Structure 1
Amino acid sequence: MPIRLKKLIGTVLLIALVVLYALVASAVAVARLGDAGALAQLAFFIFSGLLWILPAMAIIKWMMVPRRD
């Protein structure tokens, strides 16, 4: 697969990941953290704010792997 096509697909996947992840994290926060304390909310948002990095790293790694000939 050409590197330009991989980068295009990876970019679309990253944008979709961020949008979908933000919607899911917000829905979980609204459903579960409405009456939680400030410390629980802080812990959730720190954890969920960093968790999306793992799949994003995998997508970026896939995008950057050179083509095998």
Structure 2
Amino acid sequence: MTLRTRKLVGAIVLLVFLSVYALAAMMAAIVLQVSASKVVELIYYPVAGLLWVLPAMWLIKWMQRPDA
């Protein structure tokens, strides 16, 4: 796969992943507001806000890999 193709595929996958992740994080936050304490909520938001970085970082590294 060429670099240009990897960038196109990676951009599409990243947009889909971020959309799904944002919706899932929002649904989890709604459940936490109803059932959890404020301390759990306080911990959840920074963790959920930064957790998407790990898969995105892996995907971007894959996208930038030089051609064979």
* Deviation (angstroms), 1:31: 1.6
The equivalent of 1:36 in structure 2 is 36
Aligned-partner SS, 1:60: helix
* Deviation (angstroms), 1:35: 4.3
- Separation in structure 2 between the aligned mates of residue 32 and residue 39 of structure 1, nearest angstrom: 10
List runs of 5+ in structure 2 lacking aligned partners: none
TM-score by length of 1: 0.87
The answer to whether structure 1 residue 50 and structure 2 residue 40 are counterparts is: no
* Deviation (angstroms), 1:37: 3.6
Aligned-partner SS, 1:25: helix
The equivalent of 1:7 in structure 2 is 7
The equivalent of 2:17 in structure 1 is 17
List runs of 5+ in structure 1 lacking aligned partners: none
The equivalent of 1:64 in structure 2 is 64
| Amino acid in structure 2 at the alignment position of 1:26 | M
CA offsets, 1:25-49, max 9 Å, x none?
Answer: 1111112332434332221010000
Identity of aligned residues (%): 38
* Deviation (angstroms), 1:8: 0.4
**Larger helix proportion of the pair:** 2
Structure 1 stretches of at least 4 aligned residues deviating more than 6 Å after TM superposition: none
